[in-house]
Chains A and B, each alone.
Chain A
Amino acid sequence: MNWLTWLGDFFTAPDHRSGPDSIVHRVSEHLLLSGEALLYAALLAVPLGLLIGYTGRGVTVVTALAGAARALPTLGLVTLAVLLAGVGDSAVLLPLVALAAPPLLVAAVEGVRGTDPDVRDAARGIGLTHPQVLWQVCLPSAAPTLLAGFRTATVQVIATATVAAYVGLGGLGRYVIDGLATRKYAVTVGGALLVVLLAVAAQLFFSLLARFALPPGVRAQHRAR
């Protein structure tokens, strides 16, 4: 009964090699669910955050709401959504979107507000319209903060999507929950390890993105700080 045998059992079990309970399939389910939640959260939160950050209106309200949303327990939202709406992707998506949206919203607001006011004035001064300033000046300068927000949201969603299995959906949580229910710790620990690996991979992905994908000017500024 040690770790290596557990993991060996988990990774070599025929069920986990192919078919609906295979590791590849579960990982792709997990990533699909997380990605979908992040996409909706981003579509909702980023434009709103950019707008609020640019106009400076409602910043306190948004910050307070985002803080309050952190208190909402995902497990409670998921179980409630399933009882009210029935088992389905949308029942789990909603709580995950609620989890991912606040950090994205705060990051967008803070990022735009963090733009050097002199630079904004200069951009207006050389004749850029407000949408142009937001798009060409504030957005690039908000990129590092926004990226950090995406990192937080992604890691949280990947970690929390595990809970979806409790109400009967797929993803890596299946291993964790089924293993617990059937007292097969090898399966539970294997599933848990895969979630950890995914979360760490997401962290690494975003640190690489922050290092290489930011606009050159912003990158230099970011590094100087």
Chain B
Amino acid sequence: MDDEPIVRWYWIGDHVGYLGHLLADHAVIALVPVLIGLLLAIPLGLACARFPRLYQPLSAVFNIVYALPSLAVFVVLIPYTGLATQATVMIPLTFYALAVLLPTTVDGLRAVPDAVRQAATAMGYGPWHRLTSVELPAAVPYLIAGLRVAAVSSISLASVGALIGRGGLGYLFIDGFQRTFPTPIVAGIALIAVLALAVDLLLVGARRVLAPWAVREKGAGS
């Protein structure tokens, strides 16, 4: 390690195509679960907002799900979904995303002031119309705050999948470590950070378009 520089730029230059391929794989593994999580969180969140009794047990379950170590869950799934398959990594990531998104969805739906809801009813909105044009739009800032947390953690967590053979950019960490060659590791960390940043900016932009009234930054907590 004495004469090995942290980054050998020529290696990056030689492997641009390879890095791009890993980046694309990583984006799919990390982000498709977040989208599926969102699609599941909206109906579940609606059910929870309507039947509050449902929310307590569900949130307790997802609190525990969130505590499950990703590596452990990957390993437990291997006998069912196979070693080094996308499903083995994506199924747990979907549940992590759902665990983040469900509370934010419920918070968002609950945050609609009663007066607004009553005004919508008074103006002749039916339940469905009120949901799509009043309640869901009002929840958008919350949803996006949740999506930001879920997407960034998913991107970072997906790399752990490399330990079971399918981790997108995470493979660079294993590769670099086994060869005592830091360049791929640095490239992997940098690309993951760039991917996370790009997705985050995209979501901030989406909020500006979809919910222009929510100018104030809303932290989603941690």
Contact = CB atoms under 8 A, between A and B. Distances in A.
Interface of A: 60, 63, 66-68, 70-77, 79-80, 82-84, 102-103, 106-107, 110, 149, 152, 155, 158-160, 162-163, 166-167, 173, 176-177, 179-180, 185, 188-189, 191-193, 195-196, 199-200, 202-203
27 contacts: A63-B217, A67-B200, A72-B189, A73-B169, A73-B188, A75-B163, A80-B182, A82-B177, A83-B177, A149-B222, A159-B71, A162-B72, A163-B71, A163-B160, A166-B163, A173-B71, A176-B72, A185-B75, A185-B78, A193-B72, A193-B76, A195-B71, A199-B68, A199-B69, A200-B64, A202-B67, A203-B63
Contacts of A203: 63-64, 67
> 6 closest A-B pairs (Cβ-Cβ)?
A192-B72, A159-B69, A71-B196, A79-B177, A103-B222, A73-B159
B75 A180 contact: yes
Of the listed residues A68, A71, A82, A188, the one surrounded by the most CB atoms of chain B closer than 10 A to its CB is A71
Contact of B149 (A70, A107, A195): A70
A33 to B, nearest CB: 14
Contacts of A158: 69
B153 A84 contact: no
B159 A76 contact: yes
A155 B188 contact: no
Given A80-B185, A185-B75, 8 more contacts: A68-B193, A70-B156, A80-B173, A83-B176, A83-B182, A155-B66, A177-B163, A200-B67
Contacts of A75: 159-160, 162-163, 170, 173
A196 B73 CA distance: 9
A42 to B, nearest CB: 15
A167 B149 CA distance: 28
Interface string B132-164: 000000000000000011001101100110111
Contacts of A179: 75
Contact of A106 (B1, B64, B222): B222
Given A79-B177, A103-B222, A159-B68, A71 B76 contact: no
B197 interface: yes
Contacts of B156: 70-74
A77 B170 CA distance: 11
Interface bracket on B: 35 or more
B141 to A, nearest CB: 16
B56 to A, nearest CB: 13
Contacts of A177: 163
Interface in B1-28: 1, 6
Contacts of B1: 83-84
B32 to A, nearest CB: 18
B189 A76 contact: yes
B219 A192 contact: no
B120 interface: no
A158 B68 CA distance: 10
Given A63-B219, A73-B170, A192 B185 contact: no
B124 interface: no
Given A60-B217, A83-B176, A152-B222, A195 B72 contact: yes
A175 to B, nearest CB: 10
B118 interface: no
A76 B192 CA distance: 10
Interface string B58-97: 0000011011111111011011000000000000000000
A65 B173 CA distance: 23
Contacts of B173: 73, 75-76, 79-80
B180 interface: yes
Given A67-B152, A152-B222, A193-B72, A76 B170 contact: yes
Given A72-B193, A73-B192, A163-B160, A189 B69 contact: no
B126 to A, nearest CB: 33
A34 B86 CA distance: 30
Contact of B75 (A63, A67, A166, A188): A188
